[in-house]
């Protein structure tokens, strides 16, 4: 058995090291390690509860809105107002958050992932100059013609402009990006005027045009060429908290655009929140893990058996993949009928099963599906926005309370938990999407989802190409994961 170290994994967010143990040209075992400690949960101890939201949005510059929302939901839950958020406030938060999804999925497809599949050495002229600035591994296994490569690289450049538009959408209602100023417990601080609503609509239409006429055909072309990648990077267990509340409650998981739940061995089950725990057997921490509000963890670089700064979230003691594949599976189990019919038709056309969604190609397909769907929903929400009433409700900070806030970031389930004592934060815990996906082994030796997905991946020669494709298909965000 030989060992290949990929350190750092490039074209992802943050610091990730992957160690591959290779035998007979295939990955036999994989170890995923987050190399940075940040300590944001510890920074929060003893602070005013409202600080939590302003600080935790800074957990990440890529998916800050998911943390901002999870923290707002968490505080609302602790303040006892989670069931009574004004509908306009809720919709504005969805409009901000949804635009960030579009931004993230474009970023992932064009700027983080696509270069794994392109052979840039084929280019000539001005595109060759650009190619000189980019690193790509795709030459070893590219299936795009020169004309397609040039077109995709042209879309790579157009997608930069489209991401800017998506950020403008967010900032119109959120005050600024990446770290919003508008989302607060109880709703939003700012009621946009007609000019801002029109500006949002105008940009959203431009963005939708691009998604329908450029991004989606590119995703389909990719799937056609890399059909065998529905077999690469597979996992079995999927989990979602659900996202985008549809009513006035930020706490109820049943009434959300993307449904909550778990899929295990093919079957859907409702989520039992008490079953979420964190293990630190493979992590550099002292103390005990367990449920988020009961853990007593401190950083400890000398920890026996530790090889990562990520903790290992588990559900009923098992590792679960979170993200777009999980969300689409939950939609197929519990979601809108119209969307289910569309997805089932697509799976039939591609001749793939629901189970194959949790694969390298399946994750790209799932992102494509939810990007188109969400862009349409954003326009519907904008049409139904009634700004004649309140966009936030008041609250009182209790002496003692605890709360939980759950939502979805583009790359998966985000949860925040708080315990308040004497009107101060006594304990705060975050479990980020990539903490699930890139987690190390737990006390039973169960590998994390990326570690599992890598097993069996072909490693021709010194090639890290396929392993890179598997890891990047999860859209890892390590800054979030270590928080």
Binding site for Fe ion (CB under 5 A): 430
Identified binder of Ni ion from the candidate list 78, 477, 478, 482, rule CB under 5 A: 477
Pick the closer one to Fe ion by CB: 360 or 430: 430
Q: Is 173 exposed, middle or buried (0-12, 13-18, 19+ CB in 10 A)?
A: buried
Pick the closer one to Ni ion by CB: 107 or 271: 107
Q: Which does 63 bind (CB under 5 to 8 A by kind): Ni ion, Fe ion, none?
A: Ni ion
**Judged by CB under 5 A, does residue 62 bind Ni ion?**
yes
Pick the closer one to Fe ion by CB: 362 or 405: 405
Pick the closer one to Fe ion by CB: 430 or 479: 430
Among the residue ranges 54-62, 195-203, 254-262, 371-379, the one whose residues contact Ni ion (CB under 5 A): 54-62
**Judged by CB under 5 A, does residue 480 bind Ni ion?**
yes
Q: Which does 467 bind (CB under 5 to 8 A by kind): Ni ion, Fe ion, none?
A: none
Q: Which does 177 bind (CB under 5 to 8 A by kind): Ni ion, Fe ion, none?
A: none
CB of 434 to Ni ion, least distance (A): 7
**Judged by CB under 5 A, does residue 63 bind Ni ion?**
yes
Q: Which does 62 bind (CB under 5 to 8 A by kind): Fe ion, Ni ion, none?
A: Ni ion
Q: Which does 430 bind (CB under 5 to 8 A by kind): Ni ion, Fe ion, none?
A: Fe ion
Smallest Cα–Cα separation from 63: which of 387, 429, 385, 409? Answer: 409
Among the residue ranges 56-64, 257-265, 306-314, 380-388, the one whose residues contact Ni ion (CB under 5 A): 56-64
Pick the closer one to Fe ion by CB: 12 or 430: 430
Q: Which does 413 bind (CB under 5 to 8 A by kind): Ni ion, Fe ion, none?
A: none
Pick the closer one to Fe ion by CB: 96 or 430: 430
Query: Residues interacting with Ni ion, by CB under 5 A?
Result: 60, 62-63, 477, 480
């Amino acid at each position: 058995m030989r060992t290949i170290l990929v350190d750092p994994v490039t074209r992802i967010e943050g610091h990730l090291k992957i160690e591959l143990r290779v035998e007979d040209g295939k990955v036999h075992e994989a170890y995923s390690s987050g190399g940075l400690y940040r300590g944001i949960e510890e920074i929060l101890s003893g602070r005013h509860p409202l600080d939590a939201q302003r600080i935790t949005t800074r957990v990440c510059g890529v998916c800050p809105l998911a943390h901002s929302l999870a923290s707002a939901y968490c505080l609302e839950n602790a303040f006892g107002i989670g069931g009574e958020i004004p509908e306009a406030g809720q919709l504005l938060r969805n409009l901000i958050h949804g635009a960030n999804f579009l931004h993230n999925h474009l970023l992932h497809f064009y700027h983080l992932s696509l270069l794994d599949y392109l052979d840039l050495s084929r280019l000539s002229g001005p595109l060759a100059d650009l190619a000189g600035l980019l690193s790509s591994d795709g030459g070893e296994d590219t299936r795009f013609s020169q004309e397609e490569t040039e077109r995709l690289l042209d879309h790579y450049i157009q997608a930069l402009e489209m991401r800017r538009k998506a950020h403008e959408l967010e900032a119109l209602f959120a005050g600024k990006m990446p770290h919003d100023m508008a989302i607060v417990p109880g709703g939003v601080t700012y009621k946009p005027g007609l000019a801002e609503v029109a500006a949002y609509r105008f940009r959203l239409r431009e963005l939708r045009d691009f998604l329908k006429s450029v991004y989606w055909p590119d995703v389909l072309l990719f799937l056609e060429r890399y059909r065998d990648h529905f077999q690469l990077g597979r996992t079995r267990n999927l989990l979602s908290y659900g996202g985008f509340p549809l009513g006035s409650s930020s706490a109820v998981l049943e009434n959300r655009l993307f449904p909550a739940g778990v899929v295990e061995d093919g079957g859907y089950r409702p989520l039992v929140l008490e079953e979420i725990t964190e293990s630190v057997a493979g992590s550099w921490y002292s103390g005990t893990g367990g449920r988020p509000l009961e853990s007593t963890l401190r950083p400890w670089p000398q920890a026996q058996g530790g090889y990562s700064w990520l903790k290992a979230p588990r559900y009923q003691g098992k590792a679960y993949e979170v993200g777009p594949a999980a969300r689409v599976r939950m939609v197929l189990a519990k979601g809108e009928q119209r969307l289910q019919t569309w997805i089932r038709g697509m799976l039939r056309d591609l001749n793939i099963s629901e189970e194959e969604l949790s694969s390298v190609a399946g994750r790209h397909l799932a992102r494509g599906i939810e990007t188109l769907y969400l862009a349409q929903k954003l326009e519907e929400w904008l049409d139904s926005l009634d700004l004649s009433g309140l966009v936030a409700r008041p609250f009182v900070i209790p002496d003692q309370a605890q709360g939980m806030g759950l939502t979805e970031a583009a790359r998966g389930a985000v949860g925040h938990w708080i315990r308040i004592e004497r009107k101060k934060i006594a304990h705060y815990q975050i479990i980020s999407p990539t903490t699930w996906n890139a987690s190390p082994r737990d006390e039973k030796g169960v590998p994390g989802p990326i570690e599992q997905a890598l097993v069996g991946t072909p490693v021709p020669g010194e090639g890290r190409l396929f392993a890179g494709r598997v890891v990047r298909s999860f859209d890892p965000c390590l800054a979030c994961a270590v928080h």
